[in-house]
Chains A and B, each alone.
Chain A
Amino acid sequence: MSTEMSSNNPSLISVRIWRGTAAGGFQRYEVPRAASQTILDVVTYIQRSLDPTLSYRFACRVGMCGSCAMRVNGQARWTCRTHVSKVIDESAELEIAPLANLPIIKDLVTDMTEFFDKWARAKGQFKGDATRQDDFARVKPESAQRRAVDAGIECIGCGVCYSSCDVVAWRPDYLGPAALNRAWTLANDERDTQQLERLRAVAGDAGCHACHSHFSCTERCPKRISPTAGIAGLKKKVGRLAAKGAL
C-alpha cells in the first residue's frame, strides 16, 4: 500500500514533511486516509508506522496546549485541530513544515527560546504590590479596560501568530504579536505596577511601532485573539506618552 501513488488511490494521502534542520528538505510519505483524520494523526502515523526517526511535538492533542503548532500547506495551525479534509483537495497532497521564524532543531521541532525571551523583554509578566494581607482587588469585568484584557488573555503561547508574521521575518528584533498582545493585556491591568517600564519596553521598531497591520496574526490565531488590535492600542498609549515627553 505504501508504494502505491496516492493519485491512483483515493484512500492514500501524499505527504511532504520537512526533515532535518534549516538545511534539510522535504521527504515524501504515503499515508492511508481515515475518517475524521487530523494532521496530527497523519504525523503520528508516519512516526509510528513508517519512519520512527521523525521528530515532532505534541501533548494534549485536544486543542488546549498549543504544542502541536506547525505549518500545513504554508499556513501555521494547530495540527490536532486541523482535519485533513479541511486542507486537502482532489490532488490529496499535504505539505507539513515546522513553524516559521524560529530556528529548527530537527524536522518539525523548533526552538521556542527566542519566542519566550521576547515575551519577557516585552515585560509580559504581571507585577503587583498587594500582599495576602490586603483585600482582593475589585476589577469591574464590564469596564473597557478589563474587556480589552479579556479579549487577549487566552493566549497559550503556541507561536502560530509569530510564525505568520512577516514583520518578524523582516526584523529579527521585533518582539512579535504574542509578546505584544501579552503586554497589552497587562497594560490594561489596573493591578499591575510596572506600566511605565512596560510601555518603554514595547516602544520603538523592536516593539509595537514596527507593526504594519497585516492582520496575519489575527487571521491565524486559533484562540481568535487579535494581536493587531492590542498593538494598535499600545501604539496609542506609547504615542501619547512620547508626545508628552514622559516616555
Chain B
Amino acid sequence: MKSLRVRPLSYTAFLMHRLSGLGLAIFLPLHFFVLAQAIRGESELDRALRLTDSLIVKFAEWGLVVLLTLHLVGGARLLLIEFGPWRGVRSGWITATVITSGVTGFLFLYSLVN
C-alpha cells in the first residue's frame, strides 16, 4: 500500500512544539530548585552544581537547550501564522526551527568542551 503521509509537515512542527514545551515544563521546577540551593550558601550551590557535572545531567542540559530553541523558533512561526500577513504554512520557518536548534545544540557542546 502506498504509504501516503496522512498528516502534513506542519503537524510534525506542532508535535515538536508541544513536546518541547512539555519537556521544558518538566525541567523548569528542577532548574529553579537547583538554583535556589544558593540560598543555603555558596557551598550548597556548588554541591548542587557538582551533582550536575555528571554526563547524564550534561546530556539533559544539552537536550533542554535544544528543546528551548525548538520551542522558541517554532513559537515565532506560530506568532507569524496567527498575527502576521497570511503566507500559508511558513515551511521555511519549520526548516529554520530545526537548523537553529542544531546550531544552538552545537554551540552548547562546544562551550562544554572548551
Contact = CB atoms under 8 A, between A and B. Distances in A.
Q: Dominant SS at the A interface?
A: mixed
Most buried by A among B3, B10, B78, B88: B10
A8 to B, nearest CB: 17
B8 interface: yes
B18 to A, nearest CB: 8
Interface in B1-19: 1-4, 6-8, 10-11, 14, 18
Contacts of A74: 4, 6
A134 B3 CA distance: 57
Contacts of A218: 88-89
B2 A166 contact: no
Given A89-B1, A216-B11, A219-B8, A232 B88 contact: no
B4 A75 contact: yes
Interface residues of B, number: 18
B33 interface: no
Interface stretch (A17-25, A34-42, A207-215): A207-215
B interface, over-half SS: loop
Nearest to B2: A89
Interface in A93-118: 93-95
A216 B78 CA distance: 15
12 contacts: A75-B4, A93-B1, A95-B1, A166-B11, A213-B78, A213-B81, A214-B11, A216-B7, A216-B8, A218-B89, A226-B88, A229-B86
